[in-house]
Amino acid sequence: MNTVVVSSDQQIDRHAYTQIIIDSTAAKKVIVAGPGTGKTTTFELILKQSGTPNNLVLTFINRLVNDLNCRLSDLAKVCTLHKFCMGIFNRQFPDWYMVSMLGAIISEDTGVKEDIFNELFHKLDERNPLFKLYLKRATYYKAISFNDSIYRILKKATITPSIIPDYDNILIDEYQDFSALEVAFIKQLESHGKILIVGDDDQAIYNGKYDLGDSLRSLYRSGEYTKFELPFCSRCPKVIVESVSDIVENAVKKGYLQNRINKSFRAFEPGKEIVNENYPKLQILNMASVNAAEVFLNMYISAILQDELDDYRNRDGIEPLILVIGTTKYLNIFRSKMQNIAEYIEPKQNNNIEIDQLCEGYRILLDDETSNIGWRLLLLSDKITPPKEHRRILNNSLNNTPLIDLLPEEYKQKHKANVDLIREFIGAQESAAAEANLEVVFGVPIKEKIVRYFRKVDGEESDSSSNSSYPIQFVTYQGSKGLAADYVFLLGVNNGDIPKDPTKIADYEICEFIVGLTRVKKECYVLPISNVYGEKKYRNVFLSWITPQRVANSRFLSKNDVVELFRQCKTEKQ
C-alpha cells in the first residue's frame, strides 16, 4: 500500500493521496475506495497527464458512462465493457446479430431456464454441457447476447491478441460489479496498456453476477497490483459517512463482511460546512402506514421542489435533485401515489417487448430473408398454432435445419409481405402512402411503433430520452448505482424487505443499504413502515447499528402526525 503522511489539513491530504497515484509509474494499479471519494477526478488527472487521447475507460453500466463521458470524452474512449466487446465482435463477426432476447429464445428452444445459462456464463463454467449447448444454439442463429459476446471475444483474443487495440492507459471503474467472465476479459486487457482498476467491495450488490467483490479482493491481495487508496468522501454529509462506518464496524463485529478489504472512509469537510451544519442528523421517520408515508413523500418532496427547483434547473449535469430508493414493491406502491408531482418524476420505460421483437425480426429479414434468428424473433411474438406445431418446429430446428424450411408456407408468405411493406416504407420519399399500407396490415398502434422503430434505426429520429433530466427518480438499490442527489428517500426500510430475513442477512444486503445511504449530498430520509396494507413490519435491523447520537428518530407517525410535523417544520423555517 502506498501511504500518505497525514496532516491536519484535509485538502493537503486529499491532494497527496491523489498525487501519489498520478505519479506512480506502476503498470498495474488498483484503488480501493468508497463512494464519492474522487475516483472520476483521479481518472481525469491521469488522462490529462498522459498527453494523448489513446486511452480507454470501461465501467459497468450506461449511467456511469454518461457521468464519465461528461468529463473524460475528450481524453479517452469511454464505454461499458459490453459495448467495448460488441465493437470488437462486430468487426470479427460482421454477419452476426446482437439480440438481447437470445437467452430467452435458447431457453424456450432447449427447456433450460435462462437463469441457468446466465449463471454458467457469469461463472465462466465453460466445461458444463449446458454452456456448450447454448453456444451451439447461438451459432445456429448467428446471434449473440451480452454474456456470450464477451466470451467469444475472450476466446478469440487468447489466440489472436491483436484484435484488441493497444492503449496508453486502461482505466476500469466499479470492478466489484463484474462477473468471473468479465474479470477474465479484463485480465486479457493487461497486455494492451497500463491498467488502473478501481472498486469498492462494500458496494458489491449484484448478487446475480455470482462474484460480489470476490475478484476485487483476490486481485487486491494477489501482489500483482500496486495498491492505493482515496479515503475522503466529498459527496456525502459527515453524518452519512460516519453512519456508514458504524454499519460496517458493527457488521464485522457480528460476523458479516468477514473478507472485506479494510479501507479508510472519512468525510471531507472543507466546502461542506453549511451542509454539515444544516443536515447534522440522519432522519429516520417511522411511518405507521402506507398512507402516512404517502402524505410524507408528497408534502416533503413538494416543499423541496418549491424551494430548489429553479436552482436545480440552472445546474450543469444530469444528476437528479431527489432520489426515491426502495425495493420494487415499494416503488410500485408509491409511484402511483405521487400524482401531484408526477410531471417531475422520470417516467418508467414502457417497452412493448413483443412489438420490439417483431420489429427486430423484420429488421434482420430485410438484410437476410433466410436468417434463422430473424424468423425465430417473429415466432416469439407471432406463435404458430396449435402450440404442438410450434413446439414441433422448435424441436426440429435443434437438428440445425434452417427455420425457413420448417415454417408453414402461409406463415412465411405473410411475413415476407410485411417485410416488403417495411422496405417500401423505408425507401419511400413520401411516407404517407407507405404508412397507410402498414396501418391496414398492423392497425394504428403497432403501425406507429413500427414507424418509430425503423425511423430510429434509419437515423431519422433520435432517442432523446436518455439525455432528458427529471428532478425526481424512483430507483431500486441496484438502480441507484452511479447516481447521486441532494435529497434521498429510502422507502420501506423494514426487516423482510431489506434484509429479506434478519436472521440470515446476506452481505450484499448490507452493501445495498450502504449504497442507498451514500447517494445523498444533503439530507437522507429513511422511512420504515410498520403497517403495509395490514402486514405488520419491523424496522430494518441495520438502523440499530448506527450510533444513536447521529440519528433524528421519530416515533411512529400517523397521517395526521405527518401533517402536523410538516406544519411545525415550516413554522421553524419561517
CATH code assigned at 487: 3.40.50.300
Comparing 466 with 58, which gets the higher pLDDT?
58
- Does pLDDT of 349 surpass 80? no
What integer is the mean pLDDT of 213-229?
97
Query: Domain for residue 419, yes or no?
Result: yes
Cβ proximity of 441 and 384 under 8 Å: no
Q: Which amino acid is at 211?
A: D
For residues 368 and 452, membership in a common domain is answered with yes
Query: Domain for residue 132, yes or no?
Result: no
Pick from 109, 118, 117, 100: nearest CA to 140: 109
Predicted pLDDT of residue 105: 97
Predicted pLDDT of residue 428: 81
**Could you say which of 422, 457, 492 is where a domain stops?**
457
For residues 453 and 506, membership in a common domain is answered with no
For residues 42 and 166, membership in a common domain is answered with yes
What are the DSSP E strand ranges found in 280-424? 282-284, 322-325
Predicted pLDDT of residue 73: 85
For residues 204 and 251, membership in a common domain is answered with no
Q: How many CB atoms lie within 10 A of CB 392?
A: 13
**Could you say which of 229, 248, 266 is where a domain stops?**
229
Q: Could you read off the pLDDT of 305-319 as tens digits, one per residue?
A: 999 999 999 987 778
- Does pLDDT of 350 surpass 60? yes
For residues 217 and 255, membership in a common domain is answered with no
**Secondary structure (3-state) at 36:** coil
What integer is the mean pLDDT of 476-492?
96
The mean of the pLDDT values for the chain is 93
Cα–Cα dist 357/382, whole Å: 10
- Does pLDDT of 465 surpass 50? no
Q: pLDDT-derived band of residue 464, with 50, 70 and 90 as boundaries?
A: very low
Q: How many CB atoms lie within 10 A of CB 332?
A: 12
What integer is the mean pLDDT of 383-391?
95
List Cα–Cα distances, 447 to 271, 420, 423, in angstroms: 55, 14, 14
Can you read off the three cell numbers belonging to residue 517?
445511504
Q: pLDDT-derived band of residue 574, with 50, 70 and 90 as boundaries?
A: low
For residues 332 and 288, membership in a common domain is answered with yes
Cα–Cα dist 330/347, whole Å: 16
Q: pLDDT-derived band of residue 115, with 50, 70 and 90 as boundaries?
A: very high
Q: How many CB atoms lie within 10 A of CB 10?
A: 18
For residues 338 and 247, membership in a common domain is answered with yes
For residues 72 and 205, membership in a common domain is answered with yes
- Does pLDDT of 459 surpass 60? no
What integer is the mean pLDDT of 236-262?
97
pLDDT over 90 percentage in the chain = 82
Residue by residue, what is the 3-state secondary structure of 109-160? Answer: HHCCCHHHHHHHHHCCCCCCHHHHHHHHHHHHHCEECHHHHHHHHHHHHHHC
Cβ proximity of 298 and 334 under 8 Å: no
Query: Domain for residue 243, yes or no?
Result: yes
For residues 314 and 259, membership in a common domain is answered with yes
Predicted pLDDT of residue 458: 57
Q: What is the pTM of this model?
A: 0.92
- Does pLDDT of 466 surpass 70? no
Cβ proximity of 196 and 29 under 8 Å: yes
Q: Could you read off the pLDDT of 4-24 as tens digits, one per residue?
A: 766 679 999 999 999 999 999
Query: Domain for residue 277, yes or no?
Result: yes
List Cα–Cα distances, 308 to 315, 387, 474, 483, in angstroms: 11, 57, 19, 19
For residues 74 and 159, membership in a common domain is answered with yes
What are the DSSP E strand ranges found in 517-568? 520-527, 531-532, 535-536, 551-553
Query: Domain for residue 60, yes or no?
Result: yes
For residues 311 and 210, membership in a common domain is answered with no
Query: Domain for residue 225, yes or no?
Result: yes
Q: How many CB atoms lie within 10 A of CB 347?
A: 12
Q: Could you read off the pLDDT of 55-76 as tens digits, one per residue?
A: 999 998 887 787 788 888 889 9
Cβ proximity of 66 and 178 under 8 Å: no
Kindly report which listed range (109-118, 317-326, 365-374) carries the lowest average pLDDT score: 317-326
For residues 315 and 359, membership in a common domain is answered with no
What integer is the mean pLDDT of 307-334?
93
Sort residue 201 into left (φ over 0), alpha (ψ -120 to 50) or beta.
alpha
Sheet holding 282-284, edge to edge: 472-475, 322-325, 485-491, 520-527, 282-284, 551-553
Helix axis angle, 114-122 relative to 146-159, nearest 10°? 30
How far out from the chain centre does Cα 379 lie? 30
Cβ proximity of 262 and 32 under 8 Å: no
Task: State the residue for C-alpha cell 464485522.
Answer: 252
Q: pLDDT-derived band of residue 110, with 50, 70 and 90 as boundaries?
A: very high
Predicted pLDDT of residue 462: 42
Rg, the chain, Cα only: 26
Predicted pLDDT of residue 43: 94
- Does pLDDT of 572 surpass 80? no
Q: Which string of b and e fits 511-527 if b means at least 16 CB within 10 Å?
A: bbbbbbbbbbbbbbbbb
Query: Domain for residue 103, yes or no?
Result: no
Q: Could you read off the pLDDT of 33-47 as tens digits, one per residue?
A: 999 999 989 999 999
CA angle 554–530–520, rounded 5-degree value: 55
Q: In which domain, by residue range, is 388 found?
A: 353-457
Q: How many CB atoms lie within 10 A of CB 36?
A: 23
**Could you say which of 229, 247, 265 is where a domain stops?**
229
DSSP 285: -
What integer is the mean pLDDT of 126-135?
97
Query: Domain for residue 100, yes or no?
Result: no
What integer is the mean pLDDT of 520-545?
96
Q: Which amino acid is at 3?
A: T
How many structural domains is the chain composed of?
3
